[in-house]
Amino acid sequence: MFVNWLHHVNRKTLCLGVLFFCFATVDSVLGKAMNPTKEELRMANLEATVVIRSLQHMAWQEDHLPPKASRVKVVVVGHDYCLFKERLQYLIGESETSVHGRNIVVKGCKNLEEANQVSQNKQVVFVVLLESVAGKWNVKAFVKRAGLIVYGQGKAFMRRGLSLCSRVENNRLKMSINRKKMQAVEVEFDHQLYLRNPTLYSYN
């Protein structure tokens, strides 16, 4: 269901690519880091796909974006033992996802302080907060500007001032969209995506 959303990608190629990426690279890249479970890897794949699909259905104002020749950035923050950053970059490349014609590059940040600094630049349009930084998240301490979406991974981020956050319910991934926060950063979200997928998205 989720892979079908990536219209520009051959279905078999994407499936095989993600599976190969999942099983062939995790052990070699993680080294001594915590080894994720198969379920965590499965959810990471699904969530990366949902994030990309959401990006494809957002609209920014040109004044809030860098020049057309520049790339925009998605920043992944925290201990990334499921290689979420690499999964995003792989799927973005395979699906040819862009933001208003601008290519997307994914950058990793170890902590919120580093992410806060790099997110001052309007090249950064989307920040993913991994569960590992949930305990240190303080919305009042993070940069606020038009055109910047902050997304929290996991229910620990719910009702903590984010535009988007995810959670797992009954072994299914769900995404919550905060209408007021989206309006505050002046980014539009295609309501049709929510209406077509009510079991995935909740809009409040």
DSSP E strands, 27-141: 58-59, 72-77, 98-99, 102-109, 124-129
Q: Is the pLDDT of residue 4 over 90?
A: no
Note the Cα 140 to chain centre separation in Å: 21
CA distance 162 to 125: 14
If pLDDT is split at 50, 70 and 90, which confidence band does 9 have? very low
State how far the Cα of 60 lies from the Cα of 75, in Å rounded to an integer. Answer: 17
Per the prediction, the chain carries an average pLDDT of 84
Higher pLDDT, 31 or 89: 89
Burial of 150 (0-12, 13-18, 19+ CB in 10 A): buried
- Total number of domains constituting the chain: 1
The reported pLDDT for the residue numbered 190 is: 87
Residues 61-85 have pLDDT tens digits of 999 999 999 999 999 999 999 999 9
Domain housing 160: 3-203
Q: What is the mean pLDDT of residues 26-52?
A: 75
Residue 136 sits in a domain of what CATH number?
A: 3.40.50
DSSP letter (8 states) at residue 147: T
> Which pLDDT band holds residue 118 (cuts at 50, 70, 90)?
very high
Judge whether residue 16 has pLDDT over 60: no
Predicted local confidence at residue 203, as pLDDT: 65
What is the model's pLDDT at position 24?
43
148: helix, coil or strand?
Answer: coil
Distance set, CA 94 to CA 24, 35, 97, 102 (Å): 18, 26, 8, 15
> Per-residue pLDDT averaged across 96-107, rounded?
96
- pLDDT at position 31, please? 43
Residue with tokens 């994914």, as numbered in its chain: 106
**Burial, 138: exposed, middle or buried (Cβ in 10 Å; 0-12, 13-18, 19+)?**
exposed
pLDDT in tens, 151-180: 999 999 999 999 999 988 888 888 899 989
pLDDT at 13 > cutoff 90: no
In this model, does residue 127 exceed pLDDT 50?
yes
